[in-house]
């Protein structure tokens, strides 16, 4: 059995966030010979994910956590990236779903920045962000907060201000 991750290691499991690799073992109760990563999400210690070690589709959703330097580089890399706002609601929603599903942290961070800037613009106009766009913003923020807070040893509520400060976005 070849495993990419070790017991006791923290990993990112797609949109599920930071998880502890609690164990790597067979599960005879399933009457299967394969090994599983037993993952415990840090945000919900009562949940458990069982990921077959040899399932390439599922293990592709696992990755090592970013380091502080990688997080700062990631934030810096989206500093001047402002995606144009897609006016067509359905087209925008489809793009947002795709970005969240793929869980590419650079794209997720860029998405959050784009929606946040749109929200600021609408606030100045005396308007509000649509509920669906606001929901996507919250999901994108939650995805970044989970990992960034864990790695940077801060509270989730401190991540947004940290990112906005590095990006030079006024609140």
This prediction has a pTM of: 0.86
Nearest to 64 by CA among 128, 135, 10: 10
Rama region for 14: left / alpha / beta (φ>0; ψ in -120 to 50; rest): left
47 CB-near residues (< 8 Å, 6+ apart): 40, 41
**What are the pLDDT digits (tens) for 103-126?**
899 999 999 989 988 999 999 999
Percent of the chain with pLDDT over 90: 78
Structure tokens, 160: 């947004």
CATH topology of domain 68-167: Methane Monooxygenase Hydroxylase; Chain G, domain 1 (1.20.58)
CA atoms within 13 A on the CB side of 52: 8
pLDDT tens for 22-70 read 999 998 787 778 899 999 999 998 999 999 999 999 999 999 999 999 9
- In whole numbers, what is the pLDDT of the chain averaged over residues? 92
How much is the pLDDT for 20?
97
CB 139 within 8 A of CB 14: no
pLDDT reported for residue 19: 97
pLDDT at 171: 63
Q: Where are the domains of the chain?
A: 10-64, 68-167
DSSP state of 5: S
The per-residue pLDDT for 1 is: 54
Q: Is 118 helix (H, G, I), strand (E, B) or coil?
A: helix
Please tell me the CATH code under which domain 10-64 is placed.
2.40.10
């Amino acid at each position: 059995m070849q495993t990419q991750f070790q017991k006791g290691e923290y990993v990112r499991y797609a949109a599920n966030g930071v998880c502890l690799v609690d164990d790597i073992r067979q599960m005879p109760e399933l009457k299967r010979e394969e090994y599983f990563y037993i993952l415990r999400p840090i945000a919900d210690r009562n949940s458990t994910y069982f990921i077959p070690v040899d399932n390439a589709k599922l293990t592709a959703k696992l990755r090592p956590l970013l380091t502080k330097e990688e997080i700062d580089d990631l934030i810096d890399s989206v500093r001047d990236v402002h995606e144009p706002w897609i006016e067509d609601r359905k087209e925008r929603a489809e793009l947002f779903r795709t970005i969240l599903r793929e869980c590419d942290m650079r794209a997720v961070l860029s998405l959050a920045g784009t929606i946040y800037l749109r929200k600021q613009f609408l606030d100045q106009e005396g308007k509000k962000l649509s509920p669906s766009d606001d929901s996507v913003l919250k999901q994108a923020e939650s995805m970044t907060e989970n990992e960034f807070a864990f790695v940077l040893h801060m509270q989730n509520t401190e991540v947004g201000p940290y990112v906005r400060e590095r990006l030079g976005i006024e609140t």
